[in-house]
Amino acid sequence: MSKAHHTLESRRKLTLFGLLLPPSAFLAVFFLGPLAIMIVYSWLTPGLYGGVEWKFFHLNYGRILGWADTKYERFDPVYFEIFLRSVKLAATTVLLSLILCYPVAFWVSRMPEKRKNLVIFLITLPFFISLIVRLFAWVLILRPTGFFNQALMGLGLIDEPLEIIFTGTAVIIGMVYVFVPFMFLPLYASIEKLDLSLIEASQDLGANRLQTFFRVILPMTLPGIVGGSIIVFIPSLGNFIVPSLLGGAKVVMIGNLIEQQFLSARNWPFGAALGMMVMAAVLVLLLYYIRIVTREERQAGGLKVAEEVAA
Amino acid sequence: MRRKISWRNLFLSVYGWLFLVFIYVPILLITVFSFNSNPVNMMIWQGFTFDWYRTIFGFPTELNELTLYVESTDQLYNAVLNSLTVALITTAVSTVLGTSVALAVARFRFRLKNFYRALMFMPMIMPDIILGIALLIFFVSFGFGLGLHTIIIGHCTFLSSYVFIVVSARISDMDDSLEEASADLGADGWTTFKRVTLPLIAPGVIGGAMLAFIISMDDLVITYFISGVDSTTLPVHIYGMLRRGIKPEINAIATVMLVFSFIIASVGLYMRSRKK
């Protein structure tokens, strides 16, 4: 009996080993490996003609954060400004997607079942459509000879085409359009779960609509808001495709700067250091998210305990 | 029953419909104007034509050379072929890798479980550009030489995560007593896996594989960094075309891609509805 048990146990161990070995090996080499070497690169000396020298060098970060003032690597506040501008742009994208999606999620959550499924299908469908195709559509719309200007001129509202493409506004429109499906689903998931009786209770107890919204609805849908915001913020922050197609040379974001360091300026260590800035911003955000979620769970847990005690 | 038509509901539905208009008008414009014969200004309607489609599919047209791309359609076909090759291999590999980890994490007890969960979530929360440059540095420093193989490896690193998450979700909905019953009735581990576990998780595995295929076909940022000169994929090729200038053929290419995406999405959602 115990022998049979023993072989069973060892066979299970073998299965587990077999299941985990290939993915572990693959990810250790091709995922953790590249990340580690990128971190190392950000502390190495850039070679004179591209390439890298394997010597410790802290001025890659110094150039961004302000302690490099030597002959070759100058500190220039412009890098940090670009970083901050990118954070601001990503935050604006998040805010606009949130404002766009929140009422829509409410609208969908109150539909009859069949219609609801159709509308959710329609809203999530763009996720399956190639990003480059969706961006191309906005190039066509916003160009000086594009649809938007033609329409306005056709209506006689303007005489000359407006300069929309190659501005910050164009980049924000493009970002929101591309990433808005990511915002919808988490928001919808938390609004769908909203307990309507709590809203009624709040109104019965004399709260007006604004109070009900800010004191009841908003806190209860917070996980969806925060989740959606993070999923939109992360790809917006380092994005260089949208700025390069809709922002042109005028709107340079941290993503464009990184791309230039790797593909034209060929200063890879500096590019890696810029990449680490993006990484740091994402990590800070995630830690914040984890804090909110665990607090949420603790509160939910507390509520459950209270219910059990009351029962 | 009291019928309530409040201002709030009216506002919500107007807002909702406007949102759908915002999503679909750009897509619709591409499709409509891909049939526009105006070679100079794509957004002024001149007449109906199939010329741009004839161009991308290599049929003779009456357009003169000047209005066409200097690039031959060979590059376009090559890019499509590359994209399909990469997506098919990547889907196969990442489905196996992601499903293995999902099964291990869900069905076994071991010490590093949380480590594996975190590991599988990491590529999802990493900005594409970071993974792109990290892989580029890695491949170049270890002399891999950029090409289709590096794109395939790169895609597998993050698509395994997507498969893992979809399959894990499926397993967590699953009733594990069926597997226990199978074992109690004397089936060995492999038989149980083949006859019970696999059919049960199949919808999740297929869903994960489809997601991996779609994302691999569409990935631009990571591929952009790790594709060699001769190994561009379709999105990278179109990105290059757009940077050189906007030409009407791109409308036709984009519309063909749209149709392709709609078919895949509809098949996927049909399968999901049948599952229920």
pLDDT band at A2 (very low <50, low <70, confident <90, very high): low
Q: Is the pLDDT of residue A243 over 60?
A: yes
Under an 8 A CB cutoff, do A131 and B235 touch?
A: yes
Residue A169 one-letter amino acid: T
pLDDT band at B66 (very low <50, low <70, confident <90, very high): low
The answer to which of A138-152, A212-226, B57-71 has the lowest mean pLDDT is B57-71
DSSP 8-state code for residue A50: B
pLDDT of residue B5: 62
Residue A28 one-letter amino acid: A
Euclidean distance between CA atoms B80 and B236, whole angstroms: 10
User: Using a CB-CB distance cutoff of 8 angstroms, which residues of chain A are in contact with residue B136?
Assistant: 262
User: Using a CB-CB distance cutoff of 8 angstroms, which residues of chain A are in contact with residue B110?
Assistant: 16
Any CB–CB contact under 8 A between A138 and chain B? yes
Euclidean distance between CA atoms A33 and B223, whole angstroms: 18
Distance from CA of A67 to the nearest CA of B (A): 24
Q: Among A138, A234, A241, whose Cβ lies nearest the Cβ of B26?
A: A138
- pLDDT, tens digit (0-9, with 9 covering 90-100), for A196-233: 788 888 888 888 888 888 888 888 888 889 989 999 99
Any CB–CB contact under 8 A between A56 and chain B? no
Q: A145: buried, middle or exposed (CB in 10 Å: 19+, 13-18, 0-12)? A: middle
Using the structure block, give the residue that is written with the tokens 């599919």: B57
A274 vs B190, which has greater pLDDT? A274
Nearest to residue A226, comparing CAs of A215, A214, A234, A237? A234
Q: Which of the residue ranges A122-126, B2-6, B91-95, B168-172 has the most confident prediction, judged by mean pLDDT?
A: B91-95
pLDDT band at A91 (very low <50, low <70, confident <90, very high): very high
Q: b/e for A234-273, b at 16 or more Cβ within 10 A?
A: bbbbbbbbbbbbbbeeebbbbbbbbbbbbeeebbbbbbbb
Nearest CA in chain A to B138: A34
Q: B175: buried, middle or exposed (CB in 10 Å: 19+, 13-18, 0-12)? A: exposed
Q: Is the pLDDT of residue A75 over 70?
A: yes
Contacts with B, A 237-296, CB within 8 Å: 237-241, 244-245, 255, 258-259, 262-263, 268, 271-272, 275, 278-279, 282, 286
Phi, psi of A48 (to 5 degrees): -65, -40
Once rounded to an integer, what is the mean pLDDT over residues A46-56? 81
- pLDDT, tens digit (0-9, with 9 covering 90-100), for A147-158: 888 888 888 888
Q: What is the mean pLDDT of chain A?
A: 87
Euclidean distance between CA atoms A40 and B142, whole angstroms: 14
Under an 8 A CB cutoff, do A30 and B141 touch?
A: no
pLDDT band at A305 (very low <50, low <70, confident <90, very high): low
Nearest CA in chain B to A137: B26
Under an 8 A CB cutoff, do B138 and A279 touch?
A: no
Q: Is the pLDDT of residue B70 over 50?
A: no
Residues of chain B with pLDDT > 90: what percent?
A: 44
Residue A118 token pair: 């159709």
Phi, psi of A265 (to 5 degrees): -75, -25
Euclidean distance between CA atoms B221 and B124, whole angstroms: 14
pLDDT band at B273 (very low <50, low <70, confident <90, very high): low
pLDDT of residue B140: 92
Q: Among A26, A139, A238, whose Cβ lies nearest the Cβ of B127?
A: A238
Residue B28 token pair: 């619709």
CATH of domain B73-246: 1.10.3720.10
User: Using a CB-CB distance cutoff of 8 angstroms, which residues of chain B are in contact with residue A37?
Assistant: 134, 137-138, 141
Residue B106 token pair: 């869900």
Q: Among B13, B23, B108, whose Cβ lies nearest the Cβ of A123?
A: B23
Q: Answer for the pair A178, A242: CB distance below 8 angstroms, yes or no.
A: yes
DSSP 8-state code for residue A217: I
Nearest to residue A90, comparing CAs of A189, A153, A186, A183? A183
Once rounded to an integer, what is the mean pLDDT over residues A129-155? 88
pLDDT of residue A306: 55
Q: What is the mean pLDDT of chain B?
A: 86
Tell me the torsion sign for CA atoms A143, A146, A151, A154: positive
Nearest to residue A12, comparing CAs of B198, B189, B97, B113? B189
According to the 3-state scheme, what is the secondary structure of chain B?
CCCCCCHHHHHHHHHHHHHHHHHHHHHHHHHHHCCECCCCCCCCCCCECCHHHHHHCCCCCCCCHHHCCCCCHHHHHHHHHHHHHHHHHHHHHHHHHHHHHHHHHHHCCCCCHHHHHHHHHHHHHCCHHHHHHHHHHHHHHCCCCCCHHHHHHHHHHHHHHHHHHHHHHHHHCCCCHHHHHHHHCCCCHHHHHHHHHHHHHHHHHHHHHHHHHHHHHHCCHHHHHHCCCCCCCHHHHHHHHHHHCCCHHHHHHHHHHHHHHHHHHHHHHHHHHHHC
Q: Is the pLDDT of residue A1 over 70?
A: no
Any CB–CB contact under 8 A between A166 and chain B? no
Number of residues that this document lists for chain A: 311
pLDDT of residue B2: 45
- pLDDT, tens digit (0-9, with 9 covering 90-100), for B190-245: 788 788 888 888 989 998 999 999 999 999 999 999 998 888 999 999 999 888 88
Using the structure block, give the residue that is written with the tokens 């779609």: B214
User: Using a CB-CB distance cutoff of 8 angstroms, which residues of chain B are in contact with residue A106?
Assistant: 12
Q: Answer for the pair B22, A137: CB distance below 8 angstroms, yes or no.
A: no
Euclidean distance between CA atoms B100 and B108, whole angstroms: 11
Residues of chain B with CATH 1.10.3720.10: 73-246
Any CB–CB contact under 8 A between A116 and chain B? no
pLDDT of residue A92: 96
A209 vs A82, which has greater pLDDT? A82
Q: Answer for the pair A150, B43: CB distance below 8 angstroms, yes or no.
A: yes
Q: Answer for the pair B101, B163: CB distance below 8 angstroms, yes or no.
A: no
Distance from CA of A254 to the nearest CA of B (A): 10
Residue A63 token pair: 């150039």
Inter-chain Cβ pairs, chain A and chain B, closer than 8 A: 214
- pLDDT, tens digit (0-9, with 9 covering 90-100), for A109-126: 989 988 898 898 889 888
Once rounded to an integer, what is the mean pLDDT over residues B90-104? 96
- pLDDT, tens digit (0-9, with 9 covering 90-100), for B155-174: 999 999 999 999 998 888 77
Residue A195 one-letter amino acid: D
Euclidean distance between CA atoms A43 and A53, whole angstroms: 10
Any CB–CB contact under 8 A between A26 and chain B? yes
Q: Answer for the pair B152, B231: CB distance below 8 angstroms, yes or no.
A: no
Under an 8 A CB cutoff, do A34 and B131 touch?
A: yes
In the beta sheet, which residues pair with residue A48?
A50
Q: Which domains does chain A possess?
A: 2-65 (no CATH), 80-310 (1.10.3720.10)
Q: Among A19, A26, A133, whose Cβ lies nearest the Cβ of B258?
A: A133
Under an 8 A CB cutoff, do A136 and B257 touch?
A: no
- pLDDT, tens digit (0-9, with 9 covering 90-100), for B116-130: 999 998 988 899 999
pLDDT of residue A34: 96
Distance from CA of B64 to the nearest CA of A (A): 22
pLDDT band at A299 (very low <50, low <70, confident <90, very high): low
Distance from CA of B37 to the nearest CA of A (A): 16
User: Using a CB-CB distance cutoff of 8 angstroms, which residues of chain B are in contact with residue A137?
Assistant: 26-27, 29-30, 254
Under an 8 A CB cutoff, do A145 and B125 touch?
A: no
pLDDT band at A183 (very low <50, low <70, confident <90, very high): very high
pLDDT of residue B136: 96
Q: Is the pLDDT of residue A170 over 90?
A: yes
**ipTM surpasses 0.85:** yes
Q: In chain A, which ranges are continuous DSSP H helix?
A: 2-27, 33-41, 59-65, 77-109, 113-124, 131-142, 147-154, 168-192, 196-204, 209-212, 218-220, 222-237, 241-242, 254-263, 268-310
Q: Answer for the pair A142, A164: CB distance below 8 angstroms, yes or no.
A: yes
Once rounded to an integer, what is the mean pLDDT over residues A58-67? 85
pLDDT of residue B71: 58
Euclidean distance between CA atoms B238 and B220, whole angstroms: 10
Other CB atoms within 10 A of residue B197 CB: 19
Q: Among A125, A177, A258, whose Cβ lies nearest the Cβ of B133?
A: A258
Other CB atoms within 10 A of residue B52 CB: 26
